[in-house]
Structure 1
């Protein structure tokens, strides 16, 4: 009898169905996971750039996560970057590199990056970028007297770089330095005429003295001995046509594994696209993989599922979750905030 009563009481107890937890929402542009992915992406971009300067993250424009299976996702990032003062050959860590100010005629990079995340570890699969200097009109509105970027093959710029390198080599007993590329240049016209240039160099197998006799025989050091560096040059021409040249060069020392790509350069150390009169090295030269963009109609590499099949599965999963009973008053999470915060300035 006691057992029967207990059974009746048990049947009368309210039954609470377990409501499955809602699936994790999409990442916001300022979420820690998004910033971690962006850090990996920016490191990859700088490590695989062949010319110009290192770039720093300015803002995460968008992020899209596509599940691939257990503990695995494909992540698409849209990033806004800004040029720093560190050349790609510089050993200075990115966190110690100064982002160029807006008034210095800032250069912006726009990048699409595709990453694979497995067990919270990121690997970049593809990158696609382009970079451009801000418009002259925008700079002059803020700073009417600021000098603007000049074409890297400008005659005055080439003359200044050649004179600065000759001046350095004539005063040193160390290795003869050879020009690799001009990084950026500016020309100021008032109140004095000033040409300012930055350029990358490398030590050769000749001393500066040996180069005087036969400079054509001087070759860059092999990769296992390479020694890259960076120079700045300023040529001031006064109203009476007198000139004052200032040059400063610094060698970084040998950096194992650091190499420099020299595809089809002209005698001034400029890659073909720069010779056409551009004011900055374009990231597109180093990053132009169509797989980096989610809008690409191509399928993912065979190692992962195609974007179309993954999207269909994601839609099906969301539809299935929508059929799950929700607690009274349940509201779906708001869409994640994108784009993210601006870290430096917007151009």
Structure 2
């Protein structure tokens, strides 16, 4: 009898071993692993942007993980970002940068990022980004008198920037400042016609006093001495004229440079900002790894991730049709994740 029982167990053993393990549950957009990957991705995007402002994470829209082998995964992220008040040259850590409010005519960034997680370490392989300002209609609907974004090559904007920088240089005893780029501009028409501008600057090898004789001879400091800064200004045009300007230099930041090959004398890069209201991440984010071949992986991967999310939502909906105990709370869909600030 004992022999018969042993024989039955031996016969069943291979069958039990042959049962495959259940596949891992899809990673949710708000899972700690997803947020860690998003943090690395956002840091990379800001670190490789050369114009405009730093962006902060607003929402993880999608995530897909493709196992490559032991301790080796490829991760595809779809991120929703929002523009902050910190210029890309600012030394302020992103965690301390304020996200612009909706009524300041917010700018949203959309990024697809491909990462690798190898032996627990995350690294970015490729990325694709673009950004756009919210529609004027949305802002006016909530705040009729709020100033809207103006084109960066608007005549009134250029006039105000020129006047503001000239006013600062005429009053300071420190270094003469040159314009690097206009970062943002808003124009308010009621109750007072006012132009608001923000622009990045850099110190030259001249003092403001020395520049009075020949400003054109003043050159930007070399990289090992560079000193970048940021100015905000407002100019009331009607009914009374009034100009207010505030400039701050950050001090030398080792390793921080500005892309000098794009028209510093004018402070504008026609290919980047002419006719536009904001610096586009698609144009300012220079990632040599994101070639056409590598970036072409994103569409199908992101679509697949969206299918996973939709399937999970459908499964939850189907699960809700089944009677549950009192107090049962259905699990949230894995994606998209929570909104950290506001949705544009």
Q: Give 2:342's aligned residue.
A: 345
Counterpart Cα distance in 2 of 1:101 and 1:335: 28
Q: Work out whether residues 264 and 271 of structure 1, in 8 Å CA contact, stay in contact via their aligned partners in 2.
A: yes
Larger Cα-atom Rg: 1
2: distance between equivalents of 1:267 and 1:13?
84
Q: Structure 2 length normalisation: TM-score?
A: 0.84
CA contact (8 A) 2:148 2:188 kept: yes
Matches of 2:34 and 2:45, distance apart in 1: 16
Shift of 1:274: 4.1
Corresponding residue number in structure 1 for 2:172? 172
Q: How far apart in 2 are the matches of 1:198 and 1:24?
A: 49
Report if the CA contact (8 A) 1:27-1:336 is conserved: no
8 A Cα contact 1:81 1:109, kept in partner? yes
The alignment partner of 1:213 has SS state of coil
Report how many residues are paired: 307
Contact 2:228/2:250, CA 8 A, preserved across alignment: yes
- Aligned partners of 2:121 and 2:21: how far apart in 1? 25
TM-score, L = length of structure 1? 0.83
3-state DSSP of counterpart to 2:216: helix
Q: Secondary structure at the match of 1:28?
A: coil
After the TM superposition, which residues 184-333 of structure 1 pair with which residues of structure 2 at under 5 Å, given as runs?
184-239=184-239, 242-265=240-263, 267-287=265-285, 289=290, 290=292, 291-292=294-295, 294-295=297-298
Distance in 2, matches of 1:75 and 1:275, equals 32
Gap regions ≥5 residues in structure 2: 305-330
What's the CA shift for 1:276? 2.6
Q: Could you give the per-residue CA deviations for residues 133-183 of structure 1, whole angstroms, max 9, x where no partner exists?
A: 011111111111111000111111111111111111111111111000000
Cα drift, residue 263 of structure 1: 2.9
Segments of structure 1 that go 5 or more residues without pairing to the other structure are: 298-306, 312-333
d(CA) in 2 for partners of 1:282, 1:268: 19
CA 339–275 in structure 1, closer or farther in 2 if over 3 Å, else same: closer
Contact 2:153-2:275 within 8 A present in 1 as well = yes
Kindly indicate whether the alpha-carbon contact (under 8 Å) linking 1:26 and 1:336 is maintained by their aligned counterparts in 2. Answer: no
Displacement of 1:226 in angstroms is: 0.5
CA contact (8 A) 1:90 1:229 kept: yes
Q: What is the alpha-carbon distance in structure 1 between the residues aligned to residue 249 and residue 274 of structure 2?
A: 29
Within 1, Cα distance between the matches of 2:219 and 2:132? 33
Q: In structure 2, what is the Cα distance between the partners aligned to 1:292 and 1:286? A: 16
* CA drift at 1:10: 5.1
* 8 A contact 1:152–1:277 mirrored in 2: yes
Matches of 1:91 and 1:276, distance apart in 2: 27
Question: Aligned partners of 1:215 and 1:13: how far apart in 2?
Answer: 93
- Which residue of 2 is the match for residue 325 of structure 1? none
Tell me what 1:107 maps to.
107
Tell me: CA distance 1:37–1:166, structure 2 relative to 1, closer, same or farther (3 Å): same
